[in-house]
Amino acid sequence: MITADNIVKVYGNGKVADHKALDGVSFKVEPGEVCGYIGANGAGKSTTIKILCGMLSATSGSATVGGINVLEQPDKVKRIIGYVPESGAMFLSLTPYDFLEFVCKMYDIDKNEYDRRIMSFMELFDLKQEVRTPMYTFSKGMRQKVLIISSLIHNPEVIFWDEPLSGIDYNTTIIIRTLVKELSQDGKTFFYSTHLIESIDKICTRVIILSQGRVAYEGHIGTNGAGMEELLRKYIDTENISQKVSGLYKNISRE
């Protein structure tokens, strides 16, 4: 369902100071899988997702989503995906209904059908009373709920989430976990980037760890009994971190 083949992304203009965000990234995600995509800040996670969504061009390499070549036909890819961006930018002067109606119209959904879907999702996420309230009055978590709804309301085959649980409360987290489980069982594919290890353990069926623009690990969660925290420790110099923290504390504790 999702393939990345030796993707390279270089930011810059060809000079020495150019930054290589992705350095030969390759992987494959099968239909119905919930794939966690994790790594340190600046590892290249958001860049990967933007390339797979057709929002950003790769410097070299290729990618397909649903059998469609992303680099050659990005518009076709956008028709079959849902997306929650890391930034969470929205038209805050709109109400949730206006915003979701706009999304549904982009996907040519009939009015009677999208009206039903909007109200059903808003009720599920406990926002039914706010359906006509301008979103500039919303908390971060409430806005994030609307973004998540917008990524699912057109019934896409592939869903890309970049830090979707930012600001989300525990009740909504349970709703999302249940949704992901049911949708993936129905064949929907999730590509899920996050820093929240516990959500990877509870939502994802497999994981890809990105380190300095390269795939450091790819496999199913729980292989050989290893949890996410234990797995990540293999790619983090915890001893060096402890020494740095200890040194800083001693430095600031001096009289």
Helix (H) or strand (E) holding 46: helix 45-52
Mean pLDDT along residues 119-123: 96
- For residue 125, is it within any domain? no
Please, what is the average pLDDT of the chain? 88
Could you tell me if 209 and 220 are in contact, meaning their C-beta atoms sit under 8 angstroms apart? no
**pLDDT tens per residue across span 31-72:** 999 999 988 888 899 999 999 999 999 999 999 999 999 999
Residues facing residue 11 across a β-bridge: 19
Q: What is the token pair recorded at 41?
A: 């800040």
Is 90 exceeded by the pLDDT of residue 202? no
Mean pLDDT along residues 172-191: 93
- For residue 56, is it within any domain? yes
| Residue 74 neighbours by CB under 8 Å, 6+ apart | 53, 54, 55
pLDDT band, very low/low/confident/very high, at 8 (cuts 50, 70, 90): very high
- For residue 39, is it within any domain? yes
- For residue 132, is it within any domain? no
Is 90 exceeded by the pLDDT of residue 19? no
Could you tell me if 149 and 104 are in contact, meaning their C-beta atoms sit under 8 angstroms apart? no
pLDDT band, very low/low/confident/very high, at 198 (cuts 50, 70, 90): confident
- For residue 110, is it within any domain? no
pTM confidence score: 0.87
Is 80 exceeded by the pLDDT of residue 137? yes
Q: What is the token pair recorded at 129?
A: 């009373």
3-state secondary structure of 10: strand
- Give alpha helix (H) positions in 55-207: 74-79, 96-106, 111-124, 140-152, 170-185, 197-203
Number of domains making up the chain: 1
pLDDT band, very low/low/confident/very high, at 235 (cuts 50, 70, 90): low
Beta strands 2-11; 158-162: pairing state:
unpaired
CATH number, domain of 49, equals 3.40.50.300
- For residue 140, is it within any domain? no
pLDDT at 225: 47
- For residue 17, is it within any domain? yes
- For residue 243, is it within any domain? no
Find, among 22, 119, 91, 95, the residue nearest to 63 by Cα.
22
Is 60 exceeded by the pLDDT of residue 124? yes
| Residue 126 neighbours by CB under 8 Å, 6+ apart | 171, 172
% helix, strand, coil for the chain, step of 5: 40, 25, 35
pLDDT band, very low/low/confident/very high, at 14 (cuts 50, 70, 90): low
Could you tell me if 166 and 88 are in contact, meaning their C-beta atoms sit under 8 angstroms apart? yes
Rg (CA), the chain: 20
Is 90 exceeded by the pLDDT of residue 9? yes
Q: Which domain holds residue 36?
A: 2-89+157-221
> Above pLDDT 90, what percent of the chain?
65
